Structures are given as C-alpha cells and as structure tokens.
Chain A
Amino acid sequence: MSTASKPSAPTRASSLTQPVNGQKADRVFRGIATACGILILVALAAVALFLLFRAWPLIGGDQQANSAVIENFTGGKAKNFWGYVGPLLFGTVLVAAIALVLAFFVSIGIALFISHYAPKRLAAVLSYIVDILAAIPSVIYGLWGGLVLVPAIYPFWNWVAEYLGWIPLFAGPAANPPRTVATVALVLAIMILPIITSIARDIFLQTPKLLEEAALGLGATKWEMIRLSVLPFGKSGVISASMLGLGRALGETMAVLMILSPGLTYSFRLLQASQDQTIAANIAAQYPEADSIGVSVLIGTGLVLFVITFLVNLLARRITEKAGK
C-alpha cells in the first residue's frame, strides 16, 4: 500500500547515504570562478583598448585638424587637447570633491546613528530607506535637481553670496536660476550619500563588541567609545566607501548635464553660472553633433577620465592599506 515499500527502485545517489567524490565539482566551480575573475580583467582591457583605439587620431592624426575641431567645440577658447581637457578635468574633480566633502560627514553621522544610537526598529527602517535611495537612477536626481531644486534654492545661494561673498568660493552675484557648481555638487552629494552611508553602517556594525565594551568599561562615554573603538576599526572601510562614492560623482553624467550651465575655465566661483564643466557631461552634450575627429577628441577626454578614476582608486587602495596596518 505504502509507496515506501519499493526498495528495488533505483534511488538517486545522496551524499548522505553514499560517499561522493567532490573533486569534479570542485574543479568545475574553480574553473567558473576563475573565468569570472578573468572576465572582469578582459572587460577592463577592452574598455581601455577601445578608448585608446578611438582616441588615436588625436595622438597620431593630423594635429591641425584636431585643433580646428577643438577650436570649433570651444568657440576658439582652447586650441589644443590639453587646453580643452584641462578645465574639464578641473571641473570634474572640483564638483566631485565638493560633493564628497558635503556627503562624507553626513554619511558618517547617519551610519553611526543607525549602528549605535537609533532604537532597533528605527534603525531597520532607516537602513531600508538608505538602500532605496542608493537605487534611484541618476536621471531622476537630475530631473529633481533641475526642475525643483534649482528654482527653489536661489534665495539660499543669494543669501550665501550676500553674507559669505567675501570668501572667494562664494563670490557673488549668485546666478539666477542657480544652475551652478554649488547646486550640482549638492545634488551629487545627495546621490552618493546612500552609498557611503550603507557601507559605513555595515562596517560600524562589525566593530567587535569586546572592543566597545572594553572602552565603556574603562569609563568612556558613548562618544569616546565611538572615537576610540568604532572609528579606528571602520577607518579603512569608510575610506573605500568614500572612494566608491567619489567614483560615482566623478563619472556622473545625467544629473550634471541636466543642471549645470557649463563653462570652460579654471574657476572656483561656485555660485556663478558658466564657470566649469565635467568631462562626462561634456561628452554627452557634444557627442550628438560631433564629426569623426570630434568623436575621437571626446573619447580622448573620456580616456583622461578613465585614467583619473583609476588613479583615484589606486590612491584609495594605498590609503586603505596603510590604515589597515
């Protein structure tokens, strides 16, 4: 009657009943993992080669034609490639750096609040919200920044220009509408905030309880405990989190394109329009109307951005290693 009374039926080999040879599976899995590892290298090499190949006319081609194209791009403001990419690079680094500075301290604050201050329930909700923020596409931030923040924030920048205008960074008059580096950096800061927060929170949560309790046992206040145990423990992780955020800010295209009024100068005047431009946004803006040499000039600027991002990451790795010791 019962189906269990069929001992003669072939049963599938189970690791519970029969000894298995795991070597084959082990080899296969190892092979797959190695292939994945190599794939990422191949992808990186392919990108680098593509950039070099497409930018080649810039290096090996007719220099006169190149400078004609660059003059055409800039309305005669830049004559050669370095004169063109220099201000763009400056703008890229400036915007990303300000965004990072704005986001960094707030992120650490949010992460510490979630990991050490907030009640459990609130911490869970906050973590969830931060993760959702990280998933919002940049074009949404761009739209919000361009359509809502720009008209709304003018009174604030105007106030800043009026009262802090003696600092060269905030020299007035504030542009109206404020499609400026200051506004863009603010939006980028909001964009990278969740990335940094999310990683920093995970790391702070991993601080060994023993360390924390030892600090508290020695009579440290909560802030002293965090300063003495949590922050040193999380330092290297927080730095790599910031570098991830910086990477996103360096390459951000849509939000910058939709908010910033571009210029081509080495200018620190954050509240004035048409001062700086970033490489990524410039490529997106100029590409549709570029001819073949124009495209290689733009890809050449992309190569510079690629190298810079690479260097930033390398630097971060160095710092992380040093901090880890």
Chain B
Amino acid sequence: MRSNLARRALAALCGVALIAVAAACGDNTDPSDRPVSNASSISGGFAGAGASSQQTAVEAWIAGYQKTNPKAKISYNPSGSGAGVVTFLTGATVWAGSDKPLDAKQVEESKQVCAGSTAFDVPVYISPIAIVFNLRGISDEDHHINMDATTIAKVFNGKITRWNDAALAKQNPDLDLPDLPITVVHRSDKSGTTLNLLEYLKATAGKDWPYALSENWPNDVGQGAKGTSGVISTIDQADGTIGYADLSQAGGMGTVAVKVGDSYTEISADAASKAVADSTLDETVPGANRVVLDINHKTTVEGAYPIVLVSYDIACPVYKDADTARFAQSWLGYITGKSGQDQAEHATGSAPLPDNIAQYVRASVDAIEVK
C-alpha cells in the first residue's frame, strides 16, 4: 500500500516534469521563418535583467537573435535599472540593462563576477525623449510648439505658468496660444527618462535649471504620475498639460520642436541619431572597454534632436564559463550591429547607433575573451 502510494507520487511528479519540459520547448519564433541551417552553435539558457525602457527592444532582439540561434533561450526581466545591476553583480544574469552607466563602486564590485576583470557598459538603445503636450486647438490639429532650452526649463520649473506667456508667443507667431494654465506632468517614480531630460536641461538652460541631476523629479511643480503610461494618461486627461515620454509612447500627442542652432527640430529617430553622432565618449570613467556617452546637448548640428535617453548594456569582458562568454559576445554583437539596431528602430522608434559610436562599441564587444 505504502509503496503503491510512493509509486503514484513518483508518476505524478514525472508527469509534471514532462509538462514542464514540453512547455520549455515552446518558443516565440514563428516556425515559418525558422532557418533550416544550423548556423550557430550557441545554445542554452541565458538571462538578463534591468531597465524597463529597453523591454520592447529586447523582445524584438530576442526574436531576431533566435532566428539565427534557435537553440538559445534568452530571457529579460525588466526589473528596473537599479535592480538589474544588483542582480548582475550577484552573477545571476549574463548582462544587465541600465539607463545609467556603472559608478566607480559598482565597477569595483564587478570583479567578483567577471573573474577578476571589471565590467563594461556599451550603449545599445537610444530613444528620443519627446516633450508632449495636450492643448486643445493645437495638439489635436497636429501642430508643434517651438521652444528653446530656456523656455522648456522655465515651463518645467514653474516660471512660465500660462500657455500665452510672452516667451512662448514670441517663438510661435503662427499659433493662437490660449490663456490657460500650464500643468506640468512628470514621473513620480525613479526613471532614466527623467535623468536624461534633466541632463539636457542642466547642460543647456544654465541658471534657469538649478537642480541637481537625479532619477527623481527635483521640484514640486505640477503633478507626478507613475510610469510612462501614467504620464501619458494624465496628460490625456486634461487640457493644458505638458510632460515628457519616450517617443515610442508619445503617439497621438503634440510634441515640442526644440531649438537647435538657429532652427527648431521636430523629434524623430534620425534627428536623435544625429545628436548622438555629434557626441563624445566620457573618458573619465574608471575601467577598461567602457563606452559611456557624453551626449552633446548643446549640439548645433542642423536637424539634430538633443533630448535622448541612452540605455546601456553591462557585461563582463571575461566570464567564468566559456559558453556564457560566447553568448555574451554574439548577443551584444547582434543587438549593437546594423540588423539589431534596425530591429529596435522598427519595434520602438529608437534611434540607431551612429557609425562613429558603433565602432567603439564593436571594439569593446570584440574584446570579450572567448576561449
């Protein structure tokens, strides 16, 4: 009787295990475009975690990567930049996605998981940040509002409080701006989007933007909303609101054309790419192989859009395990390469890495030690 029960339990367990195995076999590549050739030998399960801003792009990359590497099972947990880096530093993930590069302490800590070497970061995902607004008679008629950096700063720090302010009217002679209070909407949670917008304001607005850089919104102007979706739905709810969001989320909203040089640039992926191309690497960061961008927010290149979110992937130059190292190199090579960047642009409207930056990225990725 007893052994019978034990046998039944075993059988049940086997059944569950079988189901699990069968479930693990399913993947999300379309069977019709699965390649016949066994082009690559990369197989196994690999995990990444981090910035939620990259999520849609990573999903597109996974689908694209698995077309050529059907045996690789890749997962990405959009747990947030901070959590992603913490997980990476415990060695639980192959790479981390983060909206900001590692700090010196984290670089030092990474020696534990990178077999004595230090982790590096490369930009993988560049998303233009749109300044979006809802203003009856303007945004719903597909008009842009022109603003220079100082004006944007004054709107977001509460110095310009009405839509028909003289500074706005002067830059938009063609628009009939209503006498309506401006409601600023910003992120209430920590966000790389906030940080990148603040970097732009800090760099360009001078004394009109006195706040320190942070992933949290620094002042009490207007309203906070959780997540990009919260910001968008809040802006949608009332006339006279203005906020910011990744371009891919800004569909249907009015966007601000930003003054660059002598003209106003409307937001687009290519315009953002131009601004990144006009940027330099930050050479002051500690550690080898790191590609940390120092975005030139003051760019005067015609047609460049200087408010961008740069999201990095963080990986090790040396992995304890050879398979993992080969995967890391091939994965990062794919997502930062032409087809990966095109895939992301197609899926999210992100800006492709410009060639002059991509060459540094390639060098860093090639430097991953593969035995």
Contact = CB atoms under 8 A, between A and B. Distances in A.
Contacts of B37: none
B66 to A, nearest CB: 27
Contacts, number: 92
A290 B181 CA distance: 34
B215 interface: yes
Interface stretch (B140-148, B162-170, B217-225, B263-271): B217-225
Question: Interface range on chain A: under 10, 10 to 19, 20 to 34, or 35 or more?
Answer: 20 to 34
A292 B220 CA distance: 27
B190 interface: yes
A289 B224 contact: no
A71 to B, nearest CB: 8
Interface stretch (B74-82, B115-123, B339-347): B74-82
Contacts of B241: 177
A261 B291 CA distance: 37
B215 A150 contact: no
Contacts of A146: 233
B216 interface: yes
A173 B52 CA distance: 35
A175 B191 CA distance: 24
A315 interface: no
Interface in A136-159: 146-147, 150-151, 154
B110 interface: no
B238 A289 contact: no
A179 B226 contact: no
A34 to B, nearest CB: 30
Contact of A179 (B190, B211, B218, B234): B234
A291 B226 CA distance: 18
Contacts of A175: 183, 223
Nearest to B225: A261
B82 A294 contact: yes
Nearest to A175: B223
B219 A285 contact: no
A305 interface: no
A38 to B, nearest CB: 30
B211 A147 contact: no
A277 B145 CA distance: 33
Interface string A248-265: 000000000110011101
Interface in A54-74: 72-74
Given A72-B214, A261-B224, A289 B81 contact: yes
Contacts of A285: 188-189, 226
Q: 8 closest pairs, A vs B, by CB?
A: A261-B223, A289-B190, A75-B218, A288-B80, A177-B237, A273-B223, A177-B238, A289-B80
Interface of B: 52, 79-83, 85-86, 181, 183, 188-191, 211-212, 214-226, 230, 233-234, 237-241
6 contacts: A76-B212, A274-B222, A285-B188, A288-B52, A289-B81, A289-B190
